[in-house]
């Protein structure tokens, strides 16, 4: 009976396919209305319509893939115009439409950076941080330059951002007691420092006289910096002459909202396209989400300006430290790492208590400890390693010389003690001799 049922279903599927059904998954799309053509959508403003027309004129193929729509709860987002199977490409952005470190370096902004002795992001370092000032200034100039080819894209970028970087002091006080409170101060000071060392310097020379002077302001620099953090993608930087990862911006790809879904992206070095893939099924008419990574709410708020209630990836960081002036500092630090490496089973079985008696938890735990130390050592940037080696060698020299001086001082003290004893002995013998002489005279 079971075999007959499966046979009946197979016949039904073949019948559907024979009658021109594109996919058996279209059954799940029943009740979903056909998507209205982009430029006829009444809920899209003129800037968005201009942006979509610009993408079409640039030859980007997206019309059969996704649709821009205003959705409940998430605002502007992308809907699937067809069903997507796992592994399919949802979007491919051609290289001429990307904002990359290399593009910024070759622009007027990059040239201005070099002319005024600023870092133009050409060092090839293993860090996305190096290029942020150049990218931020480049994005600001693109936004204000209405004659630039990217202007239709720039017009749809949100100007009002909700990250705490733009909160009032009173609003920031609401974060007091959270991990983000101190993180935000450091982030703000860092952005202000980068602005002083780049945009303000260019403003003093007014290197772009045809553009409003607002492009050099802290307000615009913060907007561009935060926009890049929220909308850019980190990709392999080898295609741009970097050994590490670099940030790029891609039109349309930055319209995906976050969801706990299975998606991925890559920079195709062969074609130069930035490609986004799905690793799960999406039905026609369904909103397509992009996974912004497994972050806690503090990271989501700082980078994107939103939090997720009951975030399954949420956690609270606790800063714990052992003062290096404490007795047995090195042993205590190593014991802390042993606890961090301990498995759930080792913690529950009480094996971790061994460290209280100065013992190792287990062989596997010890391997984890020293593997972690080795990873930390190898992951240090070159300049940090150099500085640590310098400090270590200086410390060794100081300890070595201190030991020598301590030994020398001990010898001097011993000799001084011997001399004092000798002097006392001579003085005592002299006194005894004097007494003997007096006795003889008597």
Residue 244 has pLDDT above 80, yes or no: no
Between 165 and 128, residue with greater pLDDT: 165
Residue 421 has pLDDT above 80, yes or no: no
Cα 145 from Cα 222, distance rounded (Å): 18
Confidence (pLDDT) at 30: 30
Q: Mean of the pLDDT values across residues 231-256?
A: 82
Residue 125's pLDDT band (cuts 50, 70, 90): low
pTM flag (> 0.85):
no
* Tens digits of residue pLDDT in 40-49: 456 688 999 9
Residue 36 has pLDDT above 90, yes or no: no
Q: What is the average pLDDT score of the chain?
A: 79
Residue 433's pLDDT band (cuts 50, 70, 90): low
Q: Mean of the pLDDT values across residues 160-179?
A: 89
In sequence order, the 6+-apart residues with CB closer than 8 A to the CB of 203 are 213, 215, 216, 217
Q: Please state the φ and ψ torsions of residue 412, each to the nearest 5 degrees.
A: -60, -40
Residue 325's pLDDT band (cuts 50, 70, 90): low
Cα 320 from Cα 146, distance rounded (Å): 51
Domains of the chain listed by start with CATH number? 1-25 (no CATH), 32-95+257-293 (2.170.270.10), 99-249 (3.90.1410.10), 329-379 (no CATH)
Residue 71's pLDDT band (cuts 50, 70, 90): confident
Between 341 and 85, residue with greater pLDDT: 85
In sequence order, the 6+-apart residues with CB closer than 8 A to the CB of 21 are none
158-172, 273-287, 377-391: least confident range: 377-391
The total of other beta-carbon atoms located within 10 Å of residue 81's CB is 18
Q: Mean of the pLDDT values across residues 184-212?
A: 95
């Amino acid at each position: 009976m079971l075999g007959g049922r499966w046979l009946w279903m197979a016949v039904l599927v073949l019948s559907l396919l024979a009658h021109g059904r594109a996919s058996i998954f279209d059954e799940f799309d029943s009740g979903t209305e056909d998507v209205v053509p982009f430029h006829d959508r009444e809920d899209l403003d003129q800037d968005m319509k201009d942006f979509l027309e610009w993408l079409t004129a640039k030859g980007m193929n997206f019309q059969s893939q996704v649709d821009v729509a205003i959705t409940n709860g998430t605002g502007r987002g992308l809907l699937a115009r067809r069903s997507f199977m796992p592994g399919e490409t949802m979007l491919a952005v051609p290289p001429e439409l990307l904002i990359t470190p290399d593009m910024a370096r070759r622009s007027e902004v990059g040239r201005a950076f070099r002319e005024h002795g600023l870092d133009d992001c050409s060092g090839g370092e293993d860090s996305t941080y190096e290029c942020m000032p150049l990218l931020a200034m480049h994005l600001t100039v693109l936004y204000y330059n209405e004659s630039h080819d990217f202007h239709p894209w720039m017009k749809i970028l949100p100007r009002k951002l909700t990250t705490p970087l733009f909160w009032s002091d009173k609003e920031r006080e609401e974060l007091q007691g959270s991990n983000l409170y101190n993180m935000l101060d450091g982030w703000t000071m860092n952005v202000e420092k980068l602005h002083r060392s780049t945009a303000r310097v260019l403003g003093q020379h007014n290197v772009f006289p045809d553009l409003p002077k607002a492009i050099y302001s802290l307000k615009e620099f913060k907007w561009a910096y935060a926009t890049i953090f929220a909308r850019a993608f980190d990709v392999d930087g080898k295609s741009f002459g970097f050994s590490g990862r670099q940030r790029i911006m891609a039109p349309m790809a930055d319209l995906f909202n976050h969801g706990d879904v299975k998606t991925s992206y890559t920079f195709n070095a062969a074609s130069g396209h930035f490609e986004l893939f799905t690793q799960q099924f999406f039905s026609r008419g369904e909103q397509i989400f992009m996974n912004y990574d497994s972050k806690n709410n503090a990271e989501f708020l700082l980078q994107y300006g939103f939090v997720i209630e009951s975030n399954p990836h949420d956690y609270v960081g606790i800063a714990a430290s052992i003062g290096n002036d404490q007795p047995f500092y090195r042993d205590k630090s190593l014991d802390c790492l042993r606890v961090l490496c301990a498995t759930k089973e080792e913690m529950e079985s009480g094996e971790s208590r061994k460290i209280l008696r100065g013992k190792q938890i287990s062989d596997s735990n010890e391997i984890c400890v020293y593997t972690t130390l080795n990873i930390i050592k190898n992951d240090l940037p070159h300049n940090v390693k150099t500085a640590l080696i310098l400090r270590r060698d200086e410390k060794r020299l100081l300890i070595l010389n201190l030991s020598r001086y301590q030994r020398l001082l001990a010898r001097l003290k011993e000799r001084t003690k011997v001399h004092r004893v000798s002097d006392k002995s001579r003085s005592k013998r002299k006194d005894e001799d004097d007494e003997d002489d007096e006795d003889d005279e008597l």
